[in-house]
Amino acid sequence: MKTLKEQTDAKIEAGRQAKPDFMKGVDKVIEEAKAFLTGKDALQIGDKAPEFELPNPKKQKISLTTLLSQGPVVVTFYRGDWCPYCNLQLRALQSKLEEIRTLGATLVAISPQVPDGSMTESEISNMEFTVLSDQDAKVASLYGVSWEVPAFLMDHMKVDRGLDLDKINNGKGSILPIPATFVLNNEGIVTWSYVNVDYRTRAEPSDIIEALKAIS
């Protein structure tokens, strides 16, 4: 099976072949975002992860305390089911879910999408791990991985991609998480993390597995 990086690289290259001008625009947007977005405020190794209680697609509240009572927790923040790179990442994690569970861990994926409409109908909501809604990216902010998308990038999403994030997220569409993954031990301490402001680059599931093995 291809690594997640190989899959995302292939998607980027296919985009360059099909829509070269559009992809040049995407590259420019990401570089402009990097000028003021660093991810330096994200939780660090050894930090205690903030508690949260968020709804799943059935609007049932799930807390971090409950998840930790079952063992280590992998928390991954993603932008939404409208993001093709998020879908690639979560499919890759789904393929490793049995290994994650064998190591006694729970996987939870968090996005700003509200627990109704597209979220309940999406491919992501039908995956076998826990999917939670973090409206206005408030929990992402506690973890240091939220940011307010600048106007030029919001325009890109609305004009070039036809995305109305205010409607999708039923709130502040301009507040999104930096795609990030944290591995927490039983006490909720961050033992491993991956944060990258380039939303096309994500944590490899194999690296997450190794981080969980280090805990056990």
Q: Kindly state the greatest CA–CA separation across the chain.
A: 49
Residues with Cβ within 8 Å of residue 65, at least 6 apart in sequence: 51
Helical (H) or strand (E) element with 6: helix 4-18
pLDDT of residue 118: 41
Instruction: List own/partner pairs for 164-168 with CB under 8 A and 24 or more apart.
Output: 165/80, 168/80, 168/82, 168/113, 168/118
Phi, psi of 53, rounded to the nearest 5 degrees? -145, 110
N-term to C-term CA, the chain: 26
User: Average pLDDT of each block of 10 consecutive residues along the chain (216 residues)?
Assistant: 81 78 73 66 94 91 97 95 89 94 96 65 72 92 86 70 72 81 97 90 94 92
Contact (Cβ atoms closer than 8 angstroms) between residue 147 and residue 125? no
Contact (Cβ atoms closer than 8 angstroms) between residue 166 and residue 21? no
pLDDT of residue 124: 65
pLDDT of residue 119: 46
pTM of the model: 0.85
